[in-house]
Amino acid sequence: MKYKTIDELGHFRFEKAIVCELTQMNGYFHGIFDAVTILPENTTNRDLFEMGANDLHFTIEDGKISSFIKEGYRRYDANEVLVEEIPDEDVAPEDYNDILKSLREEEVISFVQEGDDYILSVDTMYHVYCIHITGVHDKEEWDRYINIREN
């Protein structure tokens, strides 16, 4: 990969990015994303404006899923009367890999870091999944910048 940053998650915006792949193995949590926004403060961004990247590889060293939640919801009728309430549901560890695979081509809601906790939220047509990953460092790699400015 031509460009590489370490511990710069905050210099990217993953909202509306597309998940290409998510895996957890051999002490790493790894993701590949399309349509990621690279912010001007990123150390490799020589321009003074936001740029884009496809095929961005994101790796969390010593990355381990600490919590995997299928978020619940409330459904209301046309009169705003609660019809149904579904609580959050913990995903069983034995189901992690299957669900990570099912998130391909889905849209990222957010990807943030709070201390050693990385929080990835992904929207599917029917559910939102919130994945908490603990790790010590993050690494981002990609081959080229894409101009996303509107004229």
pLDDT tens figures, 103-141: 999 999 999 999 889 999 999 998 999 999 999 999 999
pTM beyond 0.85, yes or no: yes
User: What pLDDT band is residue 38 in, cutting at 50, 70 and 90?
Assistant: very high
Q: State pLDDT tens for residues 66-101.
A: 999 999 999 999 999 999 999 999 999 999 999 999
Which are the contacts of 133, defined by CB distance < 8 A and separation ≥ 6? Answer: 24, 29, 60, 63, 64, 65, 66, 117, 118, 119, 120
The number of beta carbons lying within 10 Å of the beta carbon of residue 15 is: 14
The pLDDT of residue 150: 66
User: What pLDDT band is residue 148 in, cutting at 50, 70 and 90?
Assistant: confident
User: Is residue 47 over pLDDT 90?
Assistant: no
